[in-house]
């Protein structure tokens, strides 16, 4: 079975209620739509207090190459524009909309008909993806159109679609592949056409046999799409690990996938591209997993971006007693929510409610030189050494030891018997090295 060659761990999967159909959440009374929901140059707000907006109407503009627009997920009145805490606790500009009905722009195709025939040209697809504010749905929120614009001198040979969903607890991509598999493949076809590549591979771990079977059957009616079953091992869905597992190619240190002829995109991004290209629909909603061992109604919710987090938690049965932490994302790479007074964004894939007994790390002890962190690192790094360099402010050597290759997967932290804060140190080290280099 195909997989990556270095490191990796096998955490318990906890794919709770994965076979239950997704649930469409109703509209909130008030939505909070952050102005910037992408990686790249900031956007400018183009609405003002008192403005009436419709679903799908642009709320921001961004003319930068690495930038993305935000559209209104609701119809109603802009009640204020202010700063709010995002999931990580940073105060960011957001547009508050008092929801009044559900009036959509007439240019959006709301029919349930599946449109297979892609009539737009390569250039038109890229322009549409940009116009509709599509970003990578795997977590990074990198503007999707940028990946489709292959730099001069580079050649895209393979499009690789990430349907792995290797994080424990998360099941939103799985439900999307099961419930909207054909739309996902049409979106993949649009991406393939935009890139001009002959072959697209969809990587799915073999703990999802129904998704593998379903998409394999559907792919028989599509040109140039192949489903690739993969071994269950975390972080199988990481970009460089996924490329190696499927193609056998390695991305060199400091290089990008396009340098070896590959473009990677998430399966949920493929679905968003389908809706943009075939339905003229901006990225205004997404599927979010709300889960946890003690959550009453574990579900995957189809929810509008801008919906308050508190509304999602209430729909899942509320916050269980003895909840110690709510994670934005999965347990390996997600981060604890700073506050419940925030809202769903384009990058919100899951909310994980952890019991008090599971929410705290073990007591930190001295490194016992067991090398388990080295064995677990999928990038071939030495986390114990990098951590020590950070603690001793030796940032020049830290850069030379390739700390920037760290993908922050958490395998080192997961495997450490001494509960050393390895991942925390590596994040600080990467940030510091990046900051120091920018000042040179």
- pLDDT tens digits, residue range 291-339? 999 999 999 999 999 999 999 999 999 999 999 999 999 999 999 999 9
Number of C-alpha atoms within 13 angstroms, CB side, residue 323? 21
Let me know: does 51 contact 77? Beta carbons within 8 Å: yes
Domain spans of the chain?
A: 23-99, 122-279, 287-359, 372-439
Q: Average the pLDDT over 194-198 and give the result.
A: 96
* Interval 200-254: pLDDT, tens: 999 999 999 999 999 999 999 999 999 999 999 999 999 999 999 999 999 999 9
In CATH terms, 287-359 corresponds, of 3.10.20.600, 1.10.3300.10, 3.30.360.10, 3.40.50.620, to: 3.10.20.600
Give the separation between CA 243 and CA 136, rounded to whole angstroms: 17
How many C-beta neighbours within 10 Å does residue 5 have? Answer: 12
Note the pLDDT of residue 138: 84
- The pair phi, psi for residue 239, each rounded to 5°, is -55, -55
- pLDDT of amino acid 89: 87
Mean pLDDT confidence for 341-354: 96
Q: How confident is the model at residue 361 (pLDDT cuts 50, 70, 90)?
A: confident
Q: Which two tokens stand for residue 184?
A: 């996902």
> How far is 14 from 379, CA to CA, in rounded Å?
25
Stated pTM of the model:
0.96
Residue 358 has pLDDT above 90, yes or no: no
In sequence order, the β-bridge partners of residue 355 are 323
Q: Give a three-class secondary structure readout of the chain.
A: CECCCCCCECCCCCCCCCCCCCEECCCCCEEEEECCCCCCCCCEECCCCCCEECECCECEECCCCCCCCCECCCCEEEEEEEEEECCCCCEEEEEEEEECCCCECCCCCCCCCCCCCCCCCHHHHHHHHHHCCCECCCCCCCEHHHHHCCCCCCCCCEEEEECCCCCCCCCHHHHHHHHCHHHHHHHHHHHHHHHCCCEEEEEEECCCHHHHHHHHHHHCCCCCEEEEEECCCECCCCHHHHHHHHHCCCCCCCCCHHHHCEEEEEHHHHHHHHHHHHHCCCCCEEEEEEECCCCCCCEEEEEECCCEHHHHHHHCCCCCCCEEEEEECCCCCCEECCCCCCECCCCCCEEEEEECCCCCCCCCCCCCCCCHHHHHCCCCCCHHHHHHHHHCCCHHHHHHCCHHHCCCCCHHHHHCCCCCCHHHHHHHHHHHHHHHHHCC
Burial readout 352-363 (b: 16 or more C-beta within 10 A, e: otherwise) = bbbeeeeeeeee
**Per-residue model confidence as pLDDT tens digits over 365-405:** 999 999 999 999 999 999 999 999 999 999 999 999 999 99
Which CATH class for the 122-279 domain? alpha beta
pLDDT score for 357: 87
The mean pLDDT value for 96-108 works out to 97
In the numeric block, which tokens belong to residue 300? 């995957």
pLDDT for residue 434 is more than 90: yes
- Position 388 scores a pLDDT of 96
pLDDT of residue 139: 79
Rounded to 5 degrees, φ, ψ at 39 are: -90, 120
Cα–Cα dist 243/257, whole Å: 8
pLDDT at 438: 83
Strands of the sheet containing 350-355, edge to edge, are 23-24, 299-304, 285-291, 350-355, 323-328, 335-336
Cα separation, 316 vs 328, whole angstroms: 15
Is the bond into 200 cis (omega within 30 degrees of 0)?
A: no
Could you check whether 122-279 and 287-359 share the same CATH topology? Answer: no
pLDDT at site 384: 97
Mean pLDDT of the chain: 96
Cα–Cα dist 429/434, whole Å: 8
Taking only the tens place, the pLDDT of each residue in 256-272 is: 999 999 999 999 999 99
What's the mean pLDDT in 143-161? Answer: 96
The CATH classification of domain 23-99, taken from the options 3.40.50, 3.30.200, 3.90.930, 2.40.50: 2.40.50
pLDDT in tens, 41-97: 999 999 999 999 999 999 999 999 999 999 999 999 999 999 999 988 889 999 999
The Cα angle at residue 338 between residues 304 and 135, in degrees rounded to 5: 40
- List 249's β-bridge partners, or say none: none
Q: How far is C-alpha 11 from the geometric centre of its chain's CA atoms?
A: 20
Instruction: Single out the residue of 429, 435, 375, 424 nearest to residue 402, CA to CA.
Output: 429
For 399, list phi and psi in degrees, rounded to 5. -65, -40
Whether residue 440 has pLDDT greater than 80: no
Query: Given this model, what pLDDT does residue 352 score?
Result: 98
């Amino acid at each position: 079975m195909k997989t990556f060659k270095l490191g990796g761990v096998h955490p318990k999967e906890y794919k709770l209620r994965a076979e239950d159909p997704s649930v469409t959440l109703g509209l909130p009374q008030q939505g909070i739509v952050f102005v910037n929901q992408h990686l790249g140059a900031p956007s400018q707000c183009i609405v003002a207090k008192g403005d009436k907006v419709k679903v799908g109407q642009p709320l921001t503009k961004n003319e930068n190459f690495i930038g993305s627009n935000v559209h209104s997920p609701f119809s109603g009145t802009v009640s204020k524009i202010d700063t709010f805490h995002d999931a990580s606790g940073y105060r960011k500009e957001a547009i508050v909309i008092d929801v009044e009905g559900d009036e959509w722009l007439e240019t959006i195709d709301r029919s349930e008909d599946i449109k297979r025939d892609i009539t737009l040209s390569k250039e038109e697809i890229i322009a549409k993806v940009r116009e509709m504010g599509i970003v990578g749905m795997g977590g990074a929120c990198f503007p999707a159109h940028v990946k489709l614009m292959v730099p001069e001198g580079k050649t895209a040979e393979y499009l690789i679609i990430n349907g792995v969903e290797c994080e424990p607890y998360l099941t939103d991509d799985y439900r999307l592949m099961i419930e909207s598999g054909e739309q996902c493949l049409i979106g993949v076809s649009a991406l393939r056409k935009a890139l001009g590549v002959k072959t697209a591979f969809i990587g799915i771990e073999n703990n999802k046999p129904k998704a593998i079977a379903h998409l394999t059957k559907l792919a028989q009616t599509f040109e140039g799409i192949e489903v690739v079953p993969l071994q269950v091992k975390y972080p199988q869905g990481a970009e460089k690990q996924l490329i190696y597992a499927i193609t056998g190619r390695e991305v060199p240190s400091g290089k990008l996938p396009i340098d070896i002829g590959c473009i990677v995109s998430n399966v949920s991004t493929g679905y968003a591209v389908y809706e943009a290209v075939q339905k003229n629909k901006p990225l205004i909603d997404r599927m979010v997993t709300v889960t946890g061992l003690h959550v009453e109604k574990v579900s995957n919710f189809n929810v509008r971006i801008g919906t308050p987090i508190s509304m999602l938690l209430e729909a899942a049965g509320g916050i269980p007693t003895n909840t110690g932490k709510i994670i934005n994302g999965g347990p390996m790479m997600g981060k604890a929510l700073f506050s419940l007074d925030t809202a769903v964004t384009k990058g919100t894939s899951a909310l994980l409610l952890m019991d008090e007994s599971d929410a705290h790390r073990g007591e930190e002890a001295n490194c016992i030189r067991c090398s388990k962190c080295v064995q677990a690192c999928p990038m071939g790094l030495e986390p114990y050494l990098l951590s020590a360099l950070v603690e001793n402010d030796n940032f020049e050597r830290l850069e030379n030891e390739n700390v920037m290759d760290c993908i922050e997967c958490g395998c080192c932290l997961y495997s450490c018997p001494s509960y050393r804060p390895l991942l925390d140190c590596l994040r600080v080290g990467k940030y510091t090295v990046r900051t120091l280099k920018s000042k040179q």
